[in-house]
C-alpha cells in the first residue's frame, strides 16, 4: 500500500498570539508549548513508516525558516512550495493534490495545519488509519475532535449515525452561539472541525471539477509553471494571482456528498489565543492556583494567570492578578483579561496603524544565511549582532551612506573587501569603508558571530547594492 | 534677615515604584512627573531670593547623580554631604543643623524630602513664609497638608485651636485605619504629615540636647571629622556607624513641646506608589476613562489604568483592563491592580531573593564620568555602549581576562594604551590587548560615545586593576 503524503499548511501569519507571534515569524514557527515549534511537532507527528516525505505549502517570507526547522529535526521534505500570494486553503490544497497525482493519482494526501497541538500521536495515528480505509474508497475524510466544553470559537461537524470508524458527514456548522454550543454538547453527535483532511489525490481533483471547476486550470498552470529556486518550488505567479481567495470548506467540502468523519477523542487545540496557551500549559503541568509562569516571570498572589517572558532580559512580575494574561518579549508586552484573548488581533491592528515596528517584526531578523538583530540604533550609528550559519554567505554588496566596523567574537569569517579576501577570527576586526564592495562568509563548521558597528548619516536596510547573492533573493525578499 | 538654608534628603532608595525606581537609581532622581526629576523639582522649589544654597544629604552611591542633576538645572550647592551609612532622618538632620550653625546658629533650616510632588510653588512659598515667623521665635515648624480624602497611607498631625498661620501641634497620629481616617476628615483639625520641617539651627540642636542627647557627640564628631572628597563632604565613618537608626519624629519631635504646624492646602503627593503616580498624572491632564498612557503605551477599552513604558524599545499594550497598573522598562514589567500598589516592595524583595539583577540595578550604569550599558552579553563576549561626558576620564586600568575593541561613534576620544596616546574620532577604532594599561578620556566639548566589544573567558566588572582615578573611587564605589 502506498504511503500517505502529508501536506503541511504553513503560510499563515496569525496575530492572536502577538507579541510572541508576528507576521515576520508567526506562531507555527515558535516554541509555544515545549521545546519544538508547532510546525516541527506537526511535521514529526506526520512522519515515520506510514508517511512519505511531506509537502509544505508556505510563502516566500517563510521558506528559509521552514527549511531550517525541518533540517533541525532531521525530516527531509518532498517539496517546500511557495505560494506567490496567499489565496486561502482551497488553491493550496488543490496544488498539493495535483503535485501528488503526477506520481500516483490514488496516493493518499493528509492535509493539516501546522499550528495545532495534538500531543497524543498514537491516538492520532489510529484515527488516521481509520480514515485511510475510507479515503481509499473515494471518500474525503475530515477529522472531528470530540468536544469537551461548549466552545464557541470553533466550527462543528454533525455526524450521520453512530459507530466506530469513518461515519458519513451530515453537515458543517458555523461557529455557534453559546446556547447552541451547549445544546450540541448535550445532544452528542457533533465534533469540532479541526481542519484536517485525508483523501486520495484524484478524489480531491474530482471534487474541484464538480464544485469549483474555475480553480483547476489556473492552479494546474501554476504547478506546471513552477520553478525550482534553490530547492524551493515557486508556483507561477501569473496564473495564481487571479485566483479566488476561498477556504477548502466553502469552495468544495460543503458542496461535496462523499465526506466522511473520523472522531478523534484525544487532546487537541488550535492554540487560537493566549487563553488556549494557558489551558494547554496548565493541562500539561498544573500550576498552583493556575498561575502559569516561566523562568523569567514571577506570580505573587495570582489566580489563573499566564505570565510569560520570551527573553532572559525581561522580567515579568504580576501581583494580585486574576484571570489575566501578561505576555512579554524583549520589545513589547501585552496585558489583558483571559476572556479578551480574541481581541489581541485588534491591538495588533491598532499598533500597525500607529506605525509601530512591533506590530509585524521582531528585533531578530531571520535570513537564509542566519540572523541579525539591532543592539543599538542612534542618529548616526547602529550596532548589530550578526550570526552566520556554517557554510553560509551574505550577498556581495556595497553601501552608499555608511561604513562598517566588524569584530568577530565567535568562529571565523571570510571577508571580502574590494579585491582583498581575509580570514578574520575571534577577537579580530576589519573595517569596510563607505562604498567598498564587500561580503561576509562563514567558511567554518561552527556559527560565526560578529558585531557590526555602522556609522553614517543614513542607516536603513535599503541602502544596499547587491552584486551577487547565493540565495537568489529578489527585491523585498 | 538671613536666608533659609534648604536641606534636601536624597539618600532614600525606595522600592515602591519599581521597576522605574531601583536601589541603584531611586525615584527621586527619575523624571516620574514631567521632564525634571523629583529631586530637581524639589531643589528648584527651594531656590531663589529667600534661600541660601542647598545642603543635600545623600550617600556615596548617589553623589555623582546629585551633583549632575543640580548642575543640569544650574543650582549651586552649599554641600553634598555623604552619610557613610543610612541611619534614618534623625542624625542626618542633626548633622545638617550643626553644619549650618557653624556659620550662624540662628539661621533657618528647611528640611524636605526630595521625592515629593508640590506643583504650586507660590502657595508653598507662602506657607514657608508663615512658618519662618514662628521658627524665628524658637519653634520647630512642621508643614501639614490639608487632607482631601481619608488616606490611610500617611501619618496625621492634630492642630491645637483654629486660625491662620502657625498653630501649636497637639499630637502626632500614626497611619490610621480607614474608620479613623474618615472620622478625622469629617471632624477637621487634622493634617497629613508631609515630613517637611523649618527651624533655626540652634533650636534643633537644643531639641536633640533635651530629647536625644546621645546623638550629639558622635554626630558632631562625624561633622568635625568630615573630609572634602572632590567637592563632596564625606562624614567620618567611625562615629557615624554606631548611631541609632531613628526618624526625627520618634527621636525628637514627638517629645518636643515647641512644635507648630502650618497648614498647606495646595496640591501635594509623596508619590508613595504607582496609584499615586496615576492620580498625579490624571489630575495634571485628565485622560478619557482615566486611561493614562505615554508615548510607548496603548490602552484599548481600559478604565482607570496606568500604562507606562520608560523605553522607546518597549511597547506596552493593555486590552480591557480596569484599575490596573502596567509599568515597563527595557528589562522588567510590573502588572498589578491599583489597590495592590503597596505590595510592589514585596515583589522587589522576592526578585532580590531570586538573585535577579532587575531587583536593584538598571541596565544603564551611572558613573562619575558618564554612563554605560550592556548591549549584548554572551559566554565569551560583551558589547557595551559607553558615554563619556566632556572633560571626563575613566580610570587608568588593565584587565587580566579580556581584550577590548573600541569604536568611537560620536565625538572624540583620547586613548592611552600602555605608552601610546592617540586621538580616536568618529568612525575610528582602536584595540586594547589583554593586559595593556589603558585609559579613555573625552577631551572634547560634546559627549563622546563609544562601542566597546570585549572578548575573553571572564567579563565581570571586577576584572579591573585601577592605577589612577580622578574620582578617587574606593573599592565598590
DSSP A254-272: TT-S-EEEEEE-S--B---
CA distance A220 to A96: 10
Helices B38-45 & B63-72, crossing angle to 10 degrees? 60
Residues B26/B14, Cβ–Cβ less than 8 Å: yes
How sure is the predictor about A474, in pLDDT bands with cuts at 50, 70 and 90? Answer: low
The model's pLDDT over B269-325, given as tens digits with 9 standing for 90+, comes to: 999 999 999 999 999 899 999 999 999 999 999 999 999 999 989 999 999 999 999
The pLDDT of residue B163 is 85
- Closest Cα to residue B191, out of B152, B219, B159, B229? B159
Residue B390 region, left (φ>0) first, then alpha (ψ -120 to 50), else beta? beta
CA B296 to chain centre: 25
- Give whole-number Cα distances, B448 to A211, A267, B69, B291, in Å: 70, 59, 19, 40
The pLDDT of residue B232 is 93
- A332 contacts in B (CB within 8 Å)? 314-317
Cross-chain Cβ contact B333/A317 below 8 Å? yes
Average pLDDT value for residue range A254-277: 94
Is the pLDDT score of A421 beyond 70? Answer: yes
Residues B216/B94, Cβ–Cβ less than 8 Å: yes
- A351 contacts in B (CB within 8 Å)? 298, 315, 317
Residues B41/B169, Cβ–Cβ less than 8 Å: no
- Give whole-number Cα distances, B100 to A90, A382, B3, B5, in Å: 85, 51, 11, 8
Which runs of consecutive H residues, i.e. helices, occur in B272-335? 274-284
- B378 contacts in A (CB within 8 Å)? 409-410, 449
The model's pLDDT over B439-457, given as tens digits with 9 standing for 90+, comes to: 999 999 999 999 999 999 9
- Give whole-number Cα distances, A181 to A152, A191, A276, in Å: 6, 11, 18
CA distance A86 to A241: 9
How sure is the predictor about B121, in pLDDT bands with cuts at 50, 70 and 90? Answer: confident
CB of B285 less than 8 A from some CB of A: no
Strands B232-234 and B79-83: parallel
CB of A238 less than 8 A from some CB of B: no
How sure is the predictor about A476, in pLDDT bands with cuts at 50, 70 and 90? Answer: very low
Cross-chain Cβ contact A343/B405 below 8 Å? no
In three-state secondary structure terms, B355 is coil
Grid coordinates representing A202? Answer: 484524484
Question: DSSP secondary structure string, A212-255?
Answer: -GGGHHHHHHHHHT-EEETTEEE--HHHHHTS----HIIIIITT
Substitution target in B376, B410, B432 with the highest count of A β-carbons within 10 Å is: B376
Give the closest-approach CA distance of A174 to chain B in angstroms.
27
Q: Which residues contact B122 (CB under 8 A, 6 or more apart)?
A: none
How sure is the predictor about A472, in pLDDT bands with cuts at 50, 70 and 90? Answer: confident
Cross-chain Cβ contact A409/B316 below 8 Å? no
Nearest to B451 among A313, A347, A383 (CB): A383
Grid coordinates representing A15? Answer: 496575530
Interface of B with A in 22-41 (CB under 8 A): none
Residues B108/B136, Cβ–Cβ less than 8 Å: yes
Q: Which residues contact B178 (CB under 8 A, 6 or more apart)?
A: B150, B152
For residue A366, list its beta bridge partners: A371
Dihedral sign computed on CA atoms, order A325, A329, A330, A332? negative
The pLDDT of residue A33 is 86
The pLDDT of residue B135 is 98
Grid coordinates representing A363? Answer: 528585533
CA distance B345 to B349: 6
Average pLDDT value for residue range A394-412: 96
- B328 contacts in A (CB within 8 Å)? 328, 333
Helices A201-211 & A89-103, crossing angle to 10 degrees? 130
- Closest Cα to residue A327, out of B318, B441, B456? B318
CATH classification number, B5-264, choose in 3.90.550.10, 3.10.20.30, 1.10.287.1080, 3.40.50.300? 3.90.550.10
- Closest Cα to residue B425, out of B439, B443, B404? B443
Cross-chain Cβ contact A409/B380 below 8 Å? yes
Average pLDDT value for residue range B431-435: 95
Cross-chain Cβ contact A351/B316 below 8 Å? no
**Pairs of residues, one from chain A and one from chain B, whose beta carbons lie less than 8 Å apart:** 171
The model's pLDDT over A26-66, given as tens digits with 9 standing for 90+, comes to: 999 998 888 899 999 999 999 999 999 999 999 998 999 99
- A347 contacts in B (CB within 8 Å)? 298, 300, 317, 319
The model's pLDDT over B177-216, given as tens digits with 9 standing for 90+, comes to: 999 999 999 999 999 999 999 999 999 999 999 999 999 9
How sure is the predictor about B223, in pLDDT bands with cuts at 50, 70 and 90? Answer: very high
Sheet holding A402-410, edge to edge: A364-367, A370-377, A381-388, A448-456, A402-410, A428-432
**Chain A residue with Cα closest to B343:** A319
**Chain B residue with Cα closest to A341:** B319
Interface of B with A in 319-358 (CB under 8 A): 319-321, 324, 326, 328, 330-337, 340, 343-344, 346-347, 350-351, 354, 356, 358
Backbone angles phi, psi at A321, to 5 degrees: -90, 155
Backbone angles phi, psi at B93, to 5 degrees: -70, -40
Is the pLDDT score of A295 beyond 60? Answer: yes
Grid coordinates representing B391? Answer: 572633560
How sure is the predictor about A366, in pLDDT bands with cuts at 50, 70 and 90? Answer: confident
The pLDDT of residue B366 is 86
CA A335 to chain centre: 24
Cross-chain Cβ contact B316/A332 below 8 Å? yes
Domain B364-468 has CATH 1.10.10.10: no
Sheet holding B370-377, edge to edge: B364-367, B370-377, B381-388, B448-456, B402-410, B428-432
Nearest to A335 among B19, B318, B453 (CB): B318
CA distance A41 to A72: 12
Is the pLDDT score of A146 beyond 80? Answer: yes
Average pLDDT value for residue range A316-329: 98
Burial per residue of A176-199, b for 16 or more beta-carbon CB atoms within 10 angstroms, e otherwise: beeebbeebeeeeebbbbbbbbbb
Give the closest-approach CA distance of A406 to chain B in angstroms.
10
Which runs of consecutive H residues, i.e. helices, occur in A4-116? 38-45, 63-72, 89-103
Is the pLDDT score of B103 beyond 50? Answer: yes
Asked if the domains at A5-264 and A364-468 fall in one CATH topology, the answer is: no
The domain ranges of chain B are 5-264, 287-353, 364-468
CA distance A423 to A413: 6
The pLDDT of residue B476 is 46
Looking at every residue in chain A, the average pLDDT score rounds to 94
Substitution target in A407, A434, A435 with the highest count of B β-carbons within 10 Å is: A407
Looking at every residue in chain B, the average pLDDT score rounds to 94
Lowest mean pLDDT among A441-445, B160-164, B330-334: B160-164
Nearest to B335 among A326, A340, A346 (CB): A326
Work out the percent of chain B whose per-residue pLDDT is above 70. Answer: 99
Q: Which residues contact A269 (CB under 8 A, 6 or more apart)?
A: A116, A117, A276, A279, A280
The model's pLDDT over B42-88, given as tens digits with 9 standing for 90+, comes to: 999 999 999 999 999 999 989 999 999 999 999 999 999 999 999 99
CA distance B67 to B29: 11
Is the pLDDT score of A409 beyond 60? Answer: yes
How sure is the predictor about B474, in pLDDT bands with cuts at 50, 70 and 90? Answer: low
Average pLDDT value for residue range B173-177: 93
Amino acid at each position: 500500500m502506498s504511503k500517505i503524503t502529508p501536506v503541511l499548511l504553513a503560510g499563515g501569519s496569525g496575530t492572536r498570539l502577538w507579541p510572541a507571534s508576528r507576521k515576520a515569524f508567526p506562531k507555527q514557527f515558535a516554541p509555544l508549548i515545549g521545546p519544538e515549534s508547532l510546525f516541527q511537532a506537526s511535521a514529526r507527528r506526520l512522519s515515520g513508516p506510514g508517511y512519505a516525505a511531506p509537502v509544505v505549502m508556505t510563502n516566500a517570507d517563510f521558506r528559509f525558516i521552514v527549511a531550517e526547522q525541518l533540517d533541525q529535526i532531521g525530516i527531509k521534505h518532498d517539496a517546500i512550495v511557495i505560494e506567490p500570494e496567499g489565496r486561502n486553503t482551497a488553491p493550496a490544497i488543490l496544488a498539493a493534490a495535483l503535485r501528488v497525482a503526477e506520481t500516483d493519482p490514488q496516493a493518499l494526501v493528509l492535509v493539516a495545519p501546522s499550528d495545532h497541538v495534538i500531543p497524543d500521536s498514537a491516538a492520532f495515528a489510529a484515527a488516521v488509519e481509520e480514515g485511510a480505509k475510507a479515503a481509499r474508497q473515494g471518500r474525503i475524510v475530515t477529522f472531528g475532535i470530540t468536544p469537551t466544553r461548549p466552545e464557541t470559537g470553533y466550527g462543528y461537524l454533525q455526524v450521520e449515525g453512530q459507530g466506530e470508524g469513518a461515519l458519513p458527514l451530515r453537515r458543517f456548522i458555523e461557529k455557534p452561539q453559546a446556547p447552541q454550543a451547549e445544546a450540541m454538547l448535550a445532544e452528542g453527535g457533533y465534533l469540532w472541525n479541526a481542519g484536517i483532511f485525508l483523501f486520495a489525490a484524484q478524489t480531491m481533483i474530482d471534487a474541484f471539477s464538480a464544485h469549483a471547476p474555475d480553480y483547476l486550470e489556473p492552479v494546474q498552470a501554476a504547478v506546471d509553471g513552477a520553478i525550482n529556486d534553490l530547492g524551493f518550488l515557486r508556483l507561477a505567479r501569473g496564473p495564481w494571482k487571479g485566483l479566488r481567495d476561498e477556504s477548502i470548506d466553502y469552495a468544495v467540502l460543503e458542496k461535496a456528498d462523499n465526506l466522511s468523519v473520523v472522531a478523534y477523542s484525544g487532546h487537541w487545540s488550535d492554540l487560537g489565543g493566549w487563553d488556549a496557551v494557558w489551558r494547554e500549559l496548565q493541562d500539561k503541568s498544573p500550576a498552583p492556583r493556575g498561575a502559569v509562569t516561566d523562568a523569567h516571570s514571577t506570580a505573587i498572589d495570582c489566580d489563573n494567570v499566564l505570565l510569560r517572558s520570551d527573553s532572559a532580559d525581561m522580567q515579568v512580575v504580576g501581583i494580585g492578578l486574576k484571570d489575566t494574561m501578561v505576555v512579554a518579549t524583549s520589545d513589547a508586552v501585552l496585558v489583558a483579561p483571559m476572556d479578551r484573548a480574541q481581541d489581541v488581533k485588534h491591538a495588533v491592528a491598532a499598533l500597525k496603524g500607529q506605525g509601530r515596528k512591533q506590530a509585524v517584526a521582531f528585533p531578530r531578523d531571520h535570513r537564509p544565511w542566519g540572523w541579525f538583530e539591532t543592539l543599538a540604533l542612534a542618529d548616526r550609528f547602529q550596532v548589530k549582532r550578526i550570526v552566520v550559519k556554517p557554510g553560509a554567505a551574505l550577498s556581495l554588496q556595497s553601501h552608499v551612506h555608511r561604513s562598517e566596523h566588524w569584530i568577530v567574537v565567535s568562529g571565523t569569517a571570510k571577508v571580502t573587501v574590494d579585491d582583498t579576501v581575509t580570514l578574520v577570527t575571534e577577537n579580530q576586526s576589519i573595517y569596510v569603508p563607505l562604498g567598498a564592495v564587500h561580503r561576509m562568509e562563514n567558511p567554518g563548521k561552527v556559527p560565526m558571530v560578529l558585531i557590526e558597528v555602522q556609522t553614517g548619516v543614513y542607516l536603513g536596510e535599503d541602502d544596499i547594492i547587491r552584486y551577487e547573492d547565493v540565495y537568489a533573493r529578489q527585491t523585498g525578499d
